Amino acid sequence: MKKGRGFQIFGSLIIAYIIWNVIMSLGDFPVLSYRRIYVCIACILMIVNAPVSGGSGSGTAKKVIREEWVIDNNSRRVEKFIPSKYPGYKLTGRTENGNIYSSDEGELLFTEIVIKTVGGGEADSEDWVTGWAYLILFGCIASFIISGIVGFVSREFADAKNGADDYYASEFEDQSGGSSDSGQELQQDTTDEVEEPDTANENDYESEEVSLTDYGIYTDGRGISDTDYVMPDSDSRKLTESDIDRLTLRGINYAKNELFARHGRKFKSQELQRFFNSRSWYYGYLEASSSTDKEIQSNFNSYEKYNCDLLYKRESSMGMYKLD
């Protein structure tokens, strides 16, 4: 890599990090916005610090490089194959166009070998770093605009719904003897039933908030710090019956929802949202909806799918934990 190109990349990232920290100290933005701001700053600096091209006559020698790409079921290239990303996969076969790798669990990974010539003449003078910086910058700006529109529409719908609920309560509550809502925090296949909380005074509410992180999750009564997971390795191994025997009904519900919280899901339940907001590892940016749940479940690995089903079945057998 040329010195100019190295400064363009690493210098821009370091300077962007400094500017990003200054912005963090001045504003109060969601975690996702912070990251997009950092990416935008880095891309702008890469464009500004682009090295001066030596022209088409740079004279850089051409060279042949060999790349190996992971391919999906539709024979499309997904990402470059790097052994360190797939430490559990071993080479088990070769084809005319690529290799076959298998994991310890028998899962297969297919790759494609690509051989191409790079460097020399005009090809070497093209500033690919700046080109990608422009592309990523435009993508971040577009995401800001789209998220702003979605947020505005969501707030409008929420205000309309709250207005309708207030009207319904004022018109029909006396006739029906009181109204109540029931729903599900996660859809039927990963459900948390939701119901209106019982009437409680302010002191009761405060003691409940304390209990979220101090007790009530484990059967032995031990607490949980704000850096802990309810089940730390639920995304990397299959839980056993003895593992979940250590959890109360509340703990089982939290462990189940923790699988979704790891992927950035927000929660309609104030109890769940307070709990996960207290986790230092959590940041929620996906709105609670059935489509969000389907998207997250499609990204679950085999351990998460197994553990989600196991926890849901155990919670169902115990009568389901009642949320606010």
Low-confidence stretches of the chain (pLDDT < 70) are: 1-8, 10-12, 16, 20-21, 23-36, 38, 49-62, 119-129, 143-144, 161-215
Span 214-267, pLDDT tens digits: 658 998 888 888 888 999 999 999 999 999 999 999 999 999 999 999 999 999
Counting the structural domains of the chain, the total is 4
Q: Within 13 Å, how many C-alpha atoms sit on residue 28's CB side?
A: 0
CA distance 171 to 169: 6
Residue 103, classed as helix, strand or coil, is strand
CA 241 to mean position of chain CA atoms: 28
Residues 249 and 169 in one domain: no
Q: Are 205 and 222 contained in the same domain?
A: yes
Asked if 109 and 100 count as a contact pair (C-beta separation under 8 A), the reply is: yes
- The partner residues of 205 in beta bridges, in order of sequence, read none
Residue 310 sits in the same domain as residue 208: yes
pLDDT at 214: 61
At 58 the pLDDT is 44
Do 189 and 306 sit in the same domain of this protein? yes
Q: Is residue 202, in this structure, part of any structural domain at all?
A: yes
Report helix, strand or coil for 199.
coil
Whether residue 12 sits in one domain with residue 141 = yes
Q: Which residues contact 225 (CB under 8 A, 6 or more apart)?
A: 213
Query: Considering the domain boundaries, does residue 216 fall inside one?
Result: yes
Question: Which 3 state secondary structure label does DSSP give 118?
Answer: strand
Q: Which residues are CB-neighbours of 202 under 8 A, at least 6 positions away?
A: none
Q: What would the two tokens of residue 188 be? A: 């039927």
Burial of 152 (0-12, 13-18, 19+ CB in 10 A): exposed
Whether residues 194 and 139 fall in one domain: no
Q: 219 and 107 in one domain?
A: no
Cα of first residue to Cα of last residue in the chain, in angstroms, is 57
Q: Residue 208, exposed/middle/buried by CB under 10 A (0-12, 13-18, 19+)?
A: middle
The pLDDT value given to residue 200: 38
Same domain for 22 and 140?
A: yes
Is 324 a domain residue? Answer: no
Tell me: do 70 and 203 sit in the same domain.
no
Whether residue 110 is contained in a domain is answered as yes
Tell me 50's DSSP state.
P
CA separation, residue 294 to residues 72, 95, 223, 282, 320 (Å): 21, 36, 32, 20, 21
Specify if 97 maps to a domain.
Answer: yes
User: What is the value of pTM for the model shown?
Assistant: 0.39
pLDDT digits 0-9 by tens, 186-210: 543 444 433 333 433 434 434 444 4
Please indicate, yes or no, whether residues 133 and 189 belong to a single structural domain of this protein: no
d(CA 131, CA 118): 17
Task: Give domain status of residue 279, yes or no.
Answer: yes
Tell me the DSSP string of 55-101: -TT--PPPEEEEEEEEE-TTS-EEEE--GGG-TTEEEEEE-SS-EEE
Range of the domain at 72: 63-118
Residue 90 lies in a domain: yes
Domain membership of residue 322 (yes or no) is: no
Give the span between the Cα atoms of 241 and 221, in whole angstroms: 19
Residues 236 and 276 in one domain: yes
Residues 217 and 243 in one domain: yes
